[in-house]
Structures are given as C-alpha cells and as structure tokens.
Structure 1
Amino acid sequence: MSIEEERESDGEAPATRGRSRKYTQVLGLINQAAIEVFASEGLAGASTQAIADKAGLSKAQLHYYIESKKALYRQILQDILNDWIAVFGFADEAFGPRKVLGDLIHRKMVFSFEHPLRSRIFTAEMMRGAPVLNTMMDTSKQRTDQAAAVIRNWMNQGLMDKADPMLVLFHIWAVTQFYADHATQAAYFRNVAQDGDDKDRRYLIEQVTEFLLKGAGVK
C-alpha cells in the first residue's frame, strides 16, 4: 500500500484535506479582515460588506463561512479574552513579585506592540459598557481574583507595599494598554516610528517595568 493510500484509509482523503486547509485559510482571512474593520468602525459601524471586501470575498461567500456579523464579533472577543487569560497567567507564586509581575508586564507590552487592533476592539467594547463581553468574562474574572489573592499574599509577606491588589492589576493594565490604544500618540511625542524597532520596544518594556514595580513597592 502506498503512503497516500495509507493516509486515505487512515483518515481524510487528499481532496478532503485540501478543502479543509482552504476552509481554515479563508477563516483566517475573514478573522483578520474583521479585526481591522471592527477596530476602525466598531460593531455598529462595521458591515459584512466591508469585511468581505477586505477579505477579498463576495458578501455571499462571506456568509457561507459566518453566521452573522455579531457572531463573528463575539468570536473575536472570545479569542481576545483567551489571549488575555494567557497573557495574565501567573507563574508560581514562590518566584516572587519582581519575577512574576515583571514577566506579566513584558507579555502585556509585547501583546500591545504586536496586536494593537485586538486590544483596541476590547477597549472599545468596554467603553460601550461591555454589552457583549458582560456574559463572557466569568473565567477572566476568576483568574483576576486569583491573581489579586497572590498579590495580597506577597504584600502580607512584606515583598510589596500594602495596597489594593486589584488596583495594582488595574494600574498594570492601564499603563501597558496605553501602548496599544494610543500608539500613534506615544510615537508622535517620542519622535519615533509608530511600529518601533526591537531596540525601542525593549527600552519601553524596561522603563514601564521599572516604573510599575517601583510604584507597587516591590522589594
């Protein structure tokens, strides 16, 4: 039996696998197009025609792949929430606040640099009162409460200044999120290219990390 015959007998035929790959590729194009449109127009201003145009599809082709504009928007928000859960995952508490919070700040800054449009979609949704996200954030809330509890333990051990642990997390979020939501402003006033190079990104991460850890009174 040939390799191809083996593959056909074990699973999908080559033609089926080809169709599956194409389907996945088109979904990727739709997802990226939707991120760009939702980031610039918001949910209300976005149209499926605009998403289809940006993805290089007809409107009819787009609706073969998606249920509705709102369903697509909800899926993108869920993907972003999953990203946040990964970004804000805490390492072993025993490593201490300088290591754990420093790694968190680094991950969040990198995400702000590399995925500013996804960050802006999240921010815009929150500014509208989170009408869609309100029903999706249970896991994120649970993880955030756990992170706050870890920070409280560090404070009780004298490893950080005493403060409201949840506000410490909010402050980390606010400062790091600035570099996604206000990238144009930051670049303009710093006289640098908006995309920035690796050296400038490393500089910003170092500066923001030291600022936040010092502000949190990390020993």
Structure 2
Amino acid sequence: MSTARSSAPQKSVEDGPETPATRGRARKYTQVLAVIYQAAVEVFANDGLAGASTQAIADKAGLSKAQLHYYIESKEALYRQILQDIINDWIGVFGFSDEAFGPRKVLADLVHRKMMFSFEHPLRSRIFTAEMMRGAPVLREMMGTSKQRTEQAVAVIQNWINQGLMGPVDPMLFLFHLWAVTQFYADHATQVAYFRNTAEGDDKDRRYLIEQVTDFLLKGASVR
C-alpha cells in the first residue's frame, strides 16, 4: 500500500556542481517540503480549501509566510498536489489482484487495504471526502484513470457473477457500497471508538473491524 507523499509543488533549487554543501541544502529543502506537505494535509482536512490559508499552513509548519512561499507556488497548487497524490495512492489501494484468485480472496484483500488506508491516513481520506461533497471541482479532472480502473473492476465482478461465484448484484453499486462502508471508518473513527468503548488505533480492534466488514460485504454479495 502506498504511503503518504511529500511532493508539494515547489520552486527549483539552484543548479550547479554537486558538493557536500549543495547536498546538505538539497536534503534540508526536501525535509522542509515534507513538513509543509504534512502541515497542509492537516489544515486542509480541518478547514477545507476555502477555509485554509497560507498563513495557517505556515504556522503549522513552523515557518513564516514569506518562508512558505519560497517553497510553494500557492495554497491551490499545494491542494491540487495533495489530491493528485491521494488519487494515485487510491488507484493502488483499489487495484484488483489476479482475477483467477476469485472474489472471496480478491474482495477481502481489497477491504483490508482500503480500511488500513483509512486507519493510517484519516486526514487524507477526509480531504478526499470533503472535495467530493462539494462537487469535486478540483478532483474531477484527475479522475480519468480512477474511472478506468473502476470500470475494469466492474468487468471482473460481472465475470465472477456470470461464473456463479457471486450473487446477481449490480457490480458498480457493490463497489459503491464497499467504498461507503470502509470510508465510514476514516471519517467517523472517533464516533466508532466512542460508541464501542475502544481506543482509536488499537491494532486488535482494527483487525476485528476489518473481519466484520469483510464478512458483511461478502455475505451481502453472496460470495461463494
């Protein structure tokens, strides 16, 4: 599963012969970009694009606003990059393994990857959800590859149905149901933990939730 990236839109460092000093500056530059990227994820997850400001991102990153703008072009460019990274990661998360393994293994693996991504990157998941809820004005133009992969997954599921390995579900809607149920655990982790009297982030509880969601979805689709 992909991990969070730190590829914030950035201004170029000066070209020139590589020396220990230039390598040190490049390393420092990369480290600051990673801090900015994580700060932006936190600010966008809490405030959205409209509510976020470069000042808030700078404060979170421990930089002045002037220093921040040395590293990034704009908050909009930074937001776009974060969304693109999320899409790229989710393409990997939602990718189907070998169709020949059958629906029980492939779908169980998919649920596991999706829920672990939600557990490990809740802020990134919330950014994606918030963007979709406002009509995906930025995200829409990035979704071509994701749509293509989803259509391929639909074809695989339909083939399993035709073979009698699953019940006669609507393949696209089944994927929507899978996404909705697993996404709940990213967007409502606090609620889940509170109602169940458990601690957020407990590994044993995460495994239990994954098992329960997997069993629910596979039974609902009459997976053989």
Scaled to the shorter chain, the TM-score interval is: over 0.9
* Paired position in structure 2 for 1:196: 201
Report the alpha carbon displacement of residue 15 of structure 1 after superposing the two structures with TM.
Answer: 1.6
**Alignment of structure 1 residues 18-29 onto 2, 5 Å:** 18-29=24-35
Match of 1:157 among 152, 163, 187: 163
* Paired position in structure 2 for 1:41: 47
Write the deviation string for residues 112-143 of structure 1: whole angstroms up to 9, x where unpaired: 11100000000000000000001110011111
* Paired position in structure 1 for 2:11: none
Amino acid at match of 1:33: A
Write the deviation string for residues 193-218 of structure 1: whole angstroms up to 9, x where unpaired: 2x231111111111111111111110
Moved more, 16-25 or 79-88: 16-25
**Alignment of structure 1 residues 100-115 onto 2, 5 Å:** 100-115=106-121
Amino acid at match of 1:205: I
**Alignment of structure 1 residues 112-123 onto 2, 5 Å:** 112-123=118-129
Match of 1:75 among 73, 77, 81: 81
**CA-atom RMSD in angstroms:** 0.9
Report the alpha carbon displacement of residue 13 of structure 1 after superposing the two structures with TM.
Answer: 2.0
* Paired position in structure 1 for 2:220: 215
Distance in 1, matches of 2:44 and 2:158, equals 37
Identity of aligned residues (%): 84
Larger radius of gyration: 1
Question: Of Structure 1 and Structure 2, which has the larger fraction of its residues in helix?
Answer: 1
Distance in 2, matches of 1:85 and 1:153, equals 21
* Paired position in structure 1 for 2:103: 97
Superposed structure 1 runs of 4+ greater than 3 Å apart: none
Report the alpha carbon displacement of residue 94 of structure 1 after superposing the two structures with TM.
Answer: 0.3
* Paired position in structure 2 for 1:86: 92
Distance in 2, matches of 1:168 and 1:67, equals 40
What residue ranges of structure 1 are gaps of 5+ in the alignment? 1-10
Write the deviation string for residues 124-168 of structure 1: whole angstroms up to 9, x where unpaired: 000000000011100111111111110010000100001110111
Given the alignment of the two structures, is residue 64 of structure 1 paired with residue 41 of structure 2, yes or no?
no
What's the secondary structure of 2:137's corresponding residue?
Answer: coil
Report the alpha carbon displacement of residue 12 of structure 1 after superposing the two structures with TM.
Answer: 3.0
* Paired position in structure 1 for 2:12: none
Given the alignment of the two structures, is residue 133 of structure 1 paired with residue 139 of structure 2, yes or no?
yes
TM-score normalised by the chain length of structure 2: 0.91
What residue ranges of structure 2 are gaps of 5+ in the alignment? 1-16
Distance in 1, matches of 2:152 and 2:159, equals 11
Distance in 1, matches of 2:166 and 2:19, equals 59
Write the deviation string for residues 154-184 of structure 1: whole angstroms up to 9, x where unpaired: 0001000011101111011000000001111
Paired residues in the alignment total 208
Distance in 1, matches of 2:189 and 2:100, equals 35
Write the deviation string for residues 47-99 of structure 1: whole angstroms up to 9, x where unpaired: 00000000011101111111111000000000100111010011110000011
